[in-house]
Structure 1
Amino acid sequence: MAYRNGNYIAFDGLGELDPTKSDFKYYSTIQAWASGKGLDFKYVNSHDKTYAVRNSSLRPTLETRIRERLAASKNVVVILSDRTRRSGSMLSYEIEKAVDRYELPLICAYTNYFKVTAPEELSHRWPEALEQRINNGTAKAIHIPFKKNALLDAIGQFTVHGHTLTNGLNFYTLDAHREFGCLE
């Protein structure tokens, strides 16, 4: 098995072939943070560790690549927007495999929020696969706003090699949100 040093980024493609019309834009934001000059944002992109896939790839090919990438990952960032579907997307498959097979910690990053201190209040954004695993206690997750400093801290701390999350409803304190620059 490959050494688990990657950060797997999961999002709902919303069934769109045009990435600008899907949550792919948030994945692109993370890539921009990581490539920006003068920014101290580093992560190992699990998607770069295997052969690329195309939107036209067959589902079995996609699933094989997802499993390969998850096997080399130390955590999974799950991007949750107001458009994330409850079911019917590859995101559900990614969450199922990340939790059930690879026992990866989840970093649930919510777009358009400056603080996340009551994750259960945002459950309307959870795919059913995430909700089931939070409710049955198999998901180990921290819930954060989709903000650079919060994400950087979470991907550095919550890994298969790092701090252990005890349940599916962990979150940062208000003081931590302030330190990350999310709150005034």
Structure 2
Amino acid sequence: MAYRNGTYVAFHAGGTTDPTKSDIKYYNTMKMWDASKHIEFSLCNSHEKTSSVRDSSKKETLKRSLITRLRNSKQFLLILTKTTKNDTDWVPFEIAYAVDNCELPLILAYPDYDSIMAPDELSDYWPPALKTRIENGSARAIHIPFRKAPVLDALSQFDITNKNYPTNGYGYYTREAHQEWGLV
């Protein structure tokens, strides 16, 4: 069995590598937090644990690489924006494999929100693969705003080695936690 210590980060790339035109900018923000000596943030990035693949690679090569990364991960962080639900290619595959095969807890991060205390009201952001798994109870998820403090806290708490994760797909932090982070 693989040593599962990475964080798998998924986002809708929108068919482009231009960071200004896709959700890759949020992934890059996390990498910047990790690289900064002035920010207390650490990311064990599953995408850096296998060889790089490019969009020009064969679909089967990409799929094998994603599966390896998911199998080596302890948690799955999905960045959800208004366009994520439109992804019909890799995001649905990543969600399905993470939940159905790897049983990874999901950290669902929303850049458009400063606080989240009613996750069911955000279902318009969910791709069908996520919505189905939340509604049928197979996904265990915490919904958070995409802000450094909640992301860091969720990464430190919700993984396969620490059974302190939500038991269903509607987990969220309390109002007090949001206040502590200065978000409400």
Normalising to structure 2: TM-score of the pair?
0.96
Tell me if the contact between 1:78 and 1:106 (Cα under 8 Å) persists in the aligned partners. yes
Query: C-alpha displacement at 1:3, in angstroms?
Result: 1.0
Q: Which residue identity does 1:178 align to in structure 2? A: Q
Q: Which residue identity does 2:3 align to in structure 1? A: Y
Matches within 5 A, 1:119-138: 119-138=119-138
Tell me if the contact between 2:17 and 2:24 (Cα under 8 Å) persists in the aligned partners. no
Q: Which residue identity does 1:177 align to in structure 2? A: H
Tell me if the contact between 1:14 and 1:85 (Cα under 8 Å) persists in the aligned partners. no
- Residues 98-134 of structure 1 show CA distances to partners (whole Å, capped at 9, x for unaligned) of 0000000000000121001111111101010000000
- Corresponding residue SS for 2:85: coil
Map of 2:157 onto structure 1: 157
- Corresponding residue SS for 1:74: strand
Map of 2:116 onto structure 1: 116
Query: C-alpha displacement at 1:23, in angstroms?
Result: 0.5
Map of 1:176 onto structure 2: 177
Map of 1:79 onto structure 2: 79
- Residues 36-64 of structure 1 show CA distances to partners (whole Å, capped at 9, x for unaligned) of 11211012000010010112122111111
Report runs of 4+ in structure 1 exceeding 4 Å deviation: none
- Residues 135-161 of structure 1 show CA distances to partners (whole Å, capped at 9, x for unaligned) of 110000000000000000001100001
Matches within 5 A, 1:1-184: 1-162=1-162, 163-183=164-184
Aligned residue pairs, count:
183
Q: Which residue identity does 1:22 align to in structure 2? A: S
Tell me if the contact between 2:142 and 2:165 (Cα under 8 Å) persists in the aligned partners. no
Identity %: 49
Tell me if the contact between 1:107 and 1:141 (Cα under 8 Å) persists in the aligned partners. yes
Q: Which runs of 5+ in 1 are unaligned?
A: none
Query: C-alpha displacement at 1:13, in angstroms?
Result: 0.8
Distance (whole Å) between structure 1 residues aligned to residue 136 and residue 68 of structure 2: 26
Tell me if the contact between 2:12 and 2:87 (Cα under 8 Å) persists in the aligned partners. no
Distance (whole Å) between structure 2 residues aligned to residue 61 and residue 21 of structure 1: 25
Distance (whole Å) between structure 1 residues aligned to residue 17 and residue 147 of structure 2: 26
Tell me if the contact between 2:141 and 2:165 (Cα under 8 Å) persists in the aligned partners. no
- Corresponding residue SS for 1:20: coil
Distance (whole Å) between structure 2 residues aligned to residue 52 and residue 181 of structure 1: 38
Normalising to structure 1: TM-score of the pair?
0.96
